[in-house]
Every structure is written in C-alpha cells, then in structure tokens.
Structure 1
C-alpha cells in the first residue's frame, strides 16, 4: 500500500519546482551525462541474445525503472536521450513520467542502440558464448568468464570474438560500436554546450555503454556486465571527459528505499 501511495504522491507533486543543481554542476562549462541501462526485458528473462533484437520490459523491469527514477529525482535534468529500441524508450518514458517531466520530448539517436550480434540475435546466450569458448580452445563458459574476470579478455576483445564466430558474418566489431556510441556522445555534449545544459540523462544498453568508455578509463569495471538500470556517469569540463561512475546501483537502491519506506 505504501508503495502506491508514494507513486501517487509523485504524480500529485508535478507542480513542485526542480531541486537545486548539485554542487558538481556549479561550474558553467561542466556537463554531466548520466548513462543508464534499460530495465529488464523478456529476452533478458529468457536468457536470449538481445542486441538489435528487442522485447518489452517485464514488470520487474518497469519497477526497477521506477526505482531509478526516484533515485535520480533530485537531479535537474535539462535533456533526455535514448536509442531507438523499444526497451530503451520504455525505460525513459517511465523515468520521465515519475519525475513529472513535461519539458521538450527526448531525442532518439539510432547510434545509442545495443551491440548488433548478427546471426546470434534471439538465440540462447549459451549458443553464442559456446561458440566463443570453442574458438578460444576452452572447455567451458566458466573458463571464459574467468579470463574476463582476470583481465585476460576485455569486453572489446570479446565482442570481436563474437563477430569472428558469427555464422552470418554480420555482428558488429567493438571498433564499430565504439565509433557510433562516441559519435552520439559528442553530439550530446555539443547540444548541451549550445543550450547551456548541465545534466543530461541517456538510456542505452549495457555492452554499448561499456564499449563507449573502453578507452576513457583504466577502471576494471568497464569489462564487467552492467545490471539493469545501472548508471555510468561522465563529466565533461574544460575539454576533458572523465568517467566518474561505472555500474552504479546506488540510484536504484536509494529510489527503492524511498518508495518502500
């Protein structure tokens, strides 16, 4: 009962002015971009490969998007972006609805899509992983994951391995994903500077977000999968772009705590 009362209060309070900007936004030339992974989908639940293939959010996926919205509630976002996948757009719609945001509609950028996994799209994840295991001469997926955990196999290398074993020879290589994602990032920053924006929220997908930051940080977390609704935060200031958070679930956890109290 308490949860729904909180949600109702969020809608009723739409006329309340936005919270004051966070201290990190005080500098006039600073732009903070919050990249969030979409909520859980049916293909996630079924453990199927989901790149350009798409599926709706599950109820659990919608709920985690609500938690994220509440956790980000005190941040005065100036603009919103998402890829053209339904799961990305649905996640952003939930966030904007619960934050009572009636500003200009979000911008959709095709470049913010998830990685394209070619002939593996829609198949069980085990089939794609198994093909990479075989190529690398390993015995099982546990050995593959151990290589990734130990830093012997980066996410970029893993995506290139998938492209190499794709039976249709259509899967994207890491360099292609990085190029389009960083192009979208440059566009987002340029738009923010032109409009005087300070905080931007972007909903995209896990592997594409991590590939985007692959050459921006040495943090080992860039090679670890993002949970649904996890946040990767970048701060652009004085022609310098820094990755300040990777895979942060604090916003989801804080939002959940507020909504269930």
Structure 2
C-alpha cells in the first residue's frame, strides 16, 4: 500500500447551510457566497500537484470539485470521479429539518440540548446511534452503517493511490468531522465544524490514517 495525502475539502455553502437545515443525502445548490468561497479555495489549491480528484455524488460536492479541478495546474490530466461512499451522513426522517430543533429532539433524552453538547458528552459515533433511535422510521444511519460505507471509500483511495500522490476529495461537514474525530492526530476540537470550502489533510501510510490539518481556511 502507498504513502499519500488526501486533501479533503468541504463543499461551498448551500441554501440549506444558509438556513441551518439538516442536509445529509438531500441536496441543495451552492448559494452565491458558496460559489465565491469555492472559487477562493480553487485559487488557493491551483498549484497543488493533484494526481486524482474525487467527490461524493451530491451536486454540492460535485460542483465544488469541478471548480477546484478546473483551476488546478493538472486540470487537463484529471477527471473528477464520484464516490457515493463519501456522502454526508444520512439523517433519515430529519432530512431538511431545522438543525437546532433536530439535535434538541435527539439530545434531550441524553441530557444534551445542542449538537455540540451531545458530541462533547458522547462522541460522534454515539450521536449517529442516538439519531437513528430518535428517527421514527429508523432510516437514519447509525455509526456501524455509516462507517461500513465510508470505509469502502477509503479502500477505493488505497486502490488508486501511488507513493507521493496528493488526492483531492470534496465531501461534507459531518463526514469530514467524523473522519477527523476517528483519525485525529492533531488534538483538534471535536466541537468545531469544518467551514465551507475549508481544507482538512489526511496522511495515509500503508493503511495508517492520520488527520494532521483540520478546517484550514482557504478563502
């Protein structure tokens, strides 16, 4: 297996981000300020020697990835690839709901009123389990279901990566924070959400994964 880097970028701000709604597998377009920060991220990353580019299959991630690749010095050598494994967490019944209201409902039985309080007390994985329990249809992903999916994405990256590669991956806020939490090598604060179009870097060495940069502002 190879030693390589993954440049993980959160998509630009969308309309659901603007209105603070739960946006997992549901999708809304990039808002005007989301397009702006995606362009700024593209400018910041234009000279990075990317060997490949991936995004989740959500339009907000696909569009952000295209903006970044189109400005990159290797744009004529890279064709972005969609990887559904790196979708956002699926929120089931709560898709499109107010984020604050949803996490109050989910957290209240566990003495937590906000998402930050919930993950501080119990961690990211437990928040997924609690969300599935609170979902009246139980369609939301729990931690086991979520990581089974995301790990398939990591396996795909391992298959294509060569030593020294830098790979672009455009994904989502909770997914990036979950990856940081699991592979945190920098003592990053779990309660801090990655900003839209921010950069998180994962170092991979023979299957060993470490997040060494988190939520670096590119705009």
| 1:200 and 2:167 matched | yes
Q: Which shows bigger deviation, 90-99 or 126-135?
A: 126-135
The equivalent of 1:158 in structure 2 is 127
Partner SS, residue 129 of structure 1: helix
* Counterpart contact for 1:234–1:241, Cα < 8 Å: yes
* Counterpart contact for 2:116–2:191, Cα < 8 Å: no
Is there any run of 5+ residues in structure 1 with no aligned partner, and where? 1-28, 254-261
Q: TM-score, normalised by structure 2?
A: 0.89
* Counterpart contact for 1:156–1:214, Cα < 8 Å: no
The alpha carbon displacement at 1:239 in A equals 4.5
> Where does 1:135-150 land on structure 2 (aligned, <5 Å)?
135-138=109-112, 140-141=113-114, 145-146=116-117, 148=119
The alpha carbon displacement at 1:222 in A equals 4.0
- Report the CA distance shift for 1:183/1:109 in structure 2 as closer, same or farther (over 3 A): same
Partner SS, residue 214 of structure 1: helix
State the Cα deviation string for residues 21-40 of structure 1 (Å, max 9, x = none). xxxxxxxx531111111000
More helix by share: 1
In 2, the alpha carbon distance for the partners of 1:32 and 1:160 equals 30
The alpha carbon displacement at 1:76 in A equals 0.6
In 1, the alpha carbon distance for the partners of 2:64 and 2:81 equals 14
Q: Which shows bigger deviation, 76-85 or 170-179?
A: 170-179
The equivalent of 2:152 in structure 1 is 183
Is there any run of 5+ residues in structure 2 with no aligned partner, and where? none
> Where does 1:5-84 land on structure 2 (aligned, <5 Å)?
29-84=2-57
In 1, the alpha carbon distance for the partners of 2:142 and 2:53 equals 27
Match of 2:79 among 105, 109, 128: 105
State the Cα deviation string for residues 101-144 of structure 1 (Å, max 9, x = none). 12241111111110000000011113311212322245x43xx6
In 1, the alpha carbon distance for the partners of 2:107 and 2:3 equals 43
- Report the CA distance shift for 1:129/1:238 in structure 2 as closer, same or farther (over 3 A): closer
The equivalent of 1:11 in structure 2 is none
The equivalent of 1:20 in structure 2 is none
In 2, the alpha carbon distance for the partners of 1:216 and 1:166 equals 28
The alpha carbon displacement at 1:189 in A equals 2.1
Give the number of aligned pairs. Answer: 216
Which protein is bigger by CA-based radius of gyration? 1
Match of 1:120 among 82, 94, 106: 94
In 2, the alpha carbon distance for the partners of 1:155 and 1:241 equals 18
Q: TM-score, normalised by structure 1?
A: 0.76
